[in-house]
Amino acid sequence: MKKIGVIGLGMLGNAVALHLLDSGFDVTVYNRTKEKTMQIKEKGAKVASSPKELAENVELAIIVVKDADAVKQVSFEKDGVIESKNEKLVVADMSTINPSESKNISKIFLEHNIQKLEIPVMGGPNVAITGDLVMMASGDKNTFENCKEILYNIANKVFFLGESGVAHSVKLAMNLQITMLALALSEGITFIKKSNVDPKVFLEILNSTYFKTGMSEKKAYKMADGKYNATFTLANLKKDISTITETTKSLGIKLPMIEKAEELYEDALKKGLGEIDYTGIIEYIKRINESK
Ligand SMILES: NC(=O)c1ccc[n+]([C@@H]2O[C@H](COP(=O)([O-])OP(=O)(O)OC[C@H]3O[C@@H](n4cnc5c(N)ncnc54)[C@H](OP(=O)(O)O)[C@@H]3O)[C@@H](O)[C@H]2O)c1
């Protein structure tokens, strides 16, 4: 496979497409808002005018859009992927969506003789640009084997997890971790600032212990400085938190912490914080304390 398509040039999709281009693949892109295709076109990518046109000209079409509705839109609506007559096409969805929605989407593709893999990832644009994402994959094993070379180009670790839906279940459990870590750091930093201790001292001590994480070693310093340039927006994490709580209902389990986190992230969205980084939830904690 040499001809790859990327549908969705948001923060993640753009970085994935740039990396594929740098790696020598023949890359075609599509984005709903056409202006976002300009930069990558200058670097050599072809720009399709619709998901259908893209699907007709590639062997693997990677979808990286906001949510399940967006995946269905680019896949099944007018001029969507499914209208292509490309018999060799494989679709791989990197968007973070509900596992049951994902299964249904795979089923519809299969009814049209199109194989679809689920390839949600951990890591943002900063690591996507060098092909260092961590990928969870599910779907048909043979299709996965055929696409392996490209998937290992995008990610330095790829976990094949089995039948359709599973990769998204694991991805949601990952984003549950991210949510709790961002909140724990936000509350710890707020607590320590109010106690007149330099948050960098707190982080240095935390990062000298078993309880350190990538987030406490990197993003936490920006959080302490009030810098929230988005690599993954707060609005998109809220979307994933809501997908987790929907999924817990269908699993018949109660997870009280993520329910509480949903309320906090929902309120942060109402306060206009949706477009900052998800770690900017510390700004929300700051504001609720200021308004006391
Ligand atoms: N950023 C990360 O670190 C990261 C990491 C792992 C997973 N993810 C997941 O990857 C996906 C993309 O994330 P992102 O950070 O790249 O998001 P983003 O920057 O907000 O971009 C969203 C993309 O989805 C497209 N889109 C939204 N609604 C659409 C619709 N109805 N029809 C067609 N296209 C639509 C947008 O097109 P327009 O430009 O036209 O709005 C844009 O290309 C999300 O599911 C996210 O949860 C992100």
The mean pLDDT value for 79-86 works out to: 96
The answer to whether residue 239 scores a pLDDT higher than 80 is yes
228 contact partners, CB below 8 Å, separation of at least 6? 222, 276, 277, 279, 280, 282, 283
The mean pLDDT value for 199-207 works out to: 98
Q: pLDDT-based confidence at 70, cuts 50/70/90? A: very high
Q: 80 CB under 6 A from ligand 1?
A: no
Q: 10 CB under 6 A from ligand 1?
A: yes
Q: SS3 for 62?
A: strand
Q: How much distance in Å is there from the Cα of 206 to the middle of ligand 1? A: 33
Q: How much distance in Å is there from the Cα of 64 to the middle of ligand 1? A: 6
pLDDT of residue 291: 81
pLDDT of residue 74: 98
Pocket test residue of 9, 14, 66 for ligand 1, highest count of atoms within 8 A of CB: 66
The mean pLDDT value for 155-182 works out to: 98
pLDDT of residue 183: 98
The mean pLDDT value for 21-44 works out to: 97
Q: 124 CB under 6 A from ligand 1?
A: yes
Give φ, ψ of 68 to 5 degrees: -65, -40
Pocket test residue of 236, 276, 278 for ligand 1, highest count of atoms within 8 A of CB: 236
Q: Whose CA is nearest to atom 4 of ligand 1?
A: 124
Q: 12 CB under 6 A from ligand 1?
A: yes
The mean pLDDT value for 77-100 works out to: 97
Q: How much distance in Å is there from the Cα of 3 to the middle of ligand 1? A: 22
The mean pLDDT value for 196-202 works out to: 98
The answer to whether residue 175 scores a pLDDT higher than 80 is yes
The mean pLDDT value for 163-191 works out to: 98
Q: pLDDT-based confidence at 199, cuts 50/70/90? A: very high
- What pTM did the predictor assign? 0.96
Atom of ligand 1 nearest to the CA of 237: 47
Q: How much distance in Å is there from the Cα of 193 to the middle of ligand 1? A: 34
Domains along the sequence of the chain with CATH? 3-163 (3.40.50.720), 168-290 (1.10.1040.10)
pLDDT of residue 146: 96
The answer to whether residue 292 scores a pLDDT higher than 90 is no
- For the chain, give the mean pLDDT: 97
pLDDT of residue 280: 98
Q: How much distance in Å is there from the Cα of 8 to the middle of ligand 1? A: 6
pLDDT of residue 1: 73
Q: Whose CA is nearest to atom 19 of ligand 1?
A: 10
Q: Where does the chain have alpha helices with state H?
A: 11-22, 38-42, 51-56, 68-76, 99-111, 125-128, 141-154, 166-194, 199-206, 214-217, 219-224, 234-251, 256-270, 281-290
CA 28 to chain centre: 20
The mean pLDDT value for 98-122 works out to: 97
Distance CA(118)–CA(98), nearest Å, equals 11
Atom of ligand 1 nearest to the CA of 65: 24
Q: 102 CB under 6 A from ligand 1?
A: no
The mean pLDDT value for 244-252 works out to: 97
Q: Whose CA is nearest to atom 29 of ligand 1?
A: 70
